[in-house]
Structure 1
Amino acid sequence: MGQIGSTPPATTSDQGAVGTIGLPIWLWIANPAENTTGPIVRSAEGGSLSVTATGTLDRVEWTLADGNGTTVGAISCDGANAAGTPYDGRNSAEPSPTCGFGADLNSSPGNLTLAGTSYWVVEWQSSNGESGQIPFTSTTNSAQIRIGELQALVRD
C-alpha cells in the first residue's frame, strides 16, 4: 500500500487539517508508482524457457475506525477504481467518483483512523504455454484524520 491520500488529509501530513462533519471522505493512493498502483511487468529467461509475470493492483480495502478503535465503515475499491481519485478541489460535498466513504459515515467530531490494504494479482505465462495467477496481499498503511463541526452565525 502506498501513502494514503484523503479528504481531509492525514494529520501527519498537515497538522492543521480538519474535515467537516457531513462531508464525504475521498480516498486514494497518494504516491502512484509502479510499486504502489502497478502494473509491474518482469520477464526472466533460462535455457529455452522464458516467463513473464505481470503484477496488477486488484483492490484496496479501506476501513474507517473511530477514536475507540471501533470500525465504523469498510469499503473495497476494485479494478480500475482501486487506486482512487485524488481530490481536485471540486465541490467538497460531492463524493469521490471512484473510492471513498459517504457523508453518512462522517457524522461526529473527533479523530478517525483510515487503514488501507492493497491486494495484488500476479499473472504469469511461460514460453511452454503454462500460466497461472498468484494473489498476494501488500502491507497495510494507516493514517489519522480529524473531523470537526462547522458552525455558522448569521446576523442581521
Structure 2
Amino acid sequence: MNLSMGQIGSTPPSSTGAPSSVGTIGLPIWLWIANPAPNTTGPITSPPQPGVGLSVTARGTLDRVEWTLTTENGATVGAISCDGPNAAGTPYDGRNSAEPSPTCGFGADLNNSSGNLTLTGTSHWTVEWQSTNGESGQILFTSPPNNTQIRIGELQAIVRD
C-alpha cells in the first residue's frame, strides 16, 4: 500500500522550494498534504490476489496528521493534530492571509517565532483487513515523518507625522 506522509504544503511555502518566501509572525500557517493520492490521503484498498490459496483485502484510512514547528535549535514552537476528514488539510487558495485554514493549520497565536523553522508532518493510518478464510483485524500504522523548512520574519512599520 506504500502509505506515506506525502509532500508538505504550507503558507508560507517551503523556503527550500521558494528561497525568497518569508511568512510573517502573527499570521496563521495553513497546512496540507500537497500531493493527494490514495497512499498519502486515503482511502486506499488493496484487493485480494486471485489464484492464491489465502488472500487478504486491506483498506487504509488516514486518521490524523500530527504537525510540529521547531526552531533551529530544536525548541518546539507549536504542535497540532488534524484529525478525520480534516487530516489532509486544505491547500491555500490565495484568500486573505490573515484568515486561518478552514481545516488544518497553526493559528496566529502559535506563529510567534521568527527565523528558519522546521515544519514536520507525520501521518497516522488505520488499516482494516479481512482474509478469505473469514479472519479480520486492524493495524495502526505511523508513516515516517516528512519535514521542510519555512522562514518567518517580522514586519515593522515606521510612523511619520
Say whether the fold is shared (TM-score over 0.5): yes
Deviation per residue, 1:86-134 (Å, 9 max, x gap): 0111111111111111111112321111101111111112344332111
Distance 1:129 1:66, change over 3 A: same
Partner of 1:101: 106
Q: Does residue 38 of structure 2 align to residue 34 of structure 1?
A: yes
Q: Shift of residue 23 of structure 1?
A: 0.1
Q: Counterparts of 1:86 and 1:77 in 2: how far apart (Å)?
A: 14
Q: Please name the residue that 1:82 is paired with.
A: 87
What letter matches 1:65 in structure 2?
A: T
Give the AA of the match of 1:79: G
Letter in 1 for 2:85: A
Aligned match for 2:19, one of 15, 19, 22:
15
Aligned length: 155
**Displacement after TM superposition at 1:68 (Å):** 1.4
Please give the per-residue CA displacement for 1:13-70, whole angstroms capped at 9, x wherever unaligned. Answer: 10000001100111100111122111111122433x5432101111111111112110
The residue that corresponds to 2:137 in the other structure is 132
Does 2:47 align with 1:62? no
TM-score, reference length from structure 1: 0.92
TM-score under structure 2 length normalisation = 0.89
Secondary structure (helix, strand or coil) at the match of 1:44 reads coil
Structure 1 residue 154, shift from structure 2 partner: 4.9
Shift of 1:155: 4.9
Cα RMSD for the two superposed structures:
1.5
Displacement, 1:149?
1.2
Percent identical residues: 79
2: CA distance between counterparts of 1:108 and 1:140?
22
The question of whether the paired residues in 1 share the 8 Å contact of 2:63 and 2:126 is answered with yes
Native 8 Å contact 2:119 2:149 kept in 1: yes
SS at match of 2:144: strand
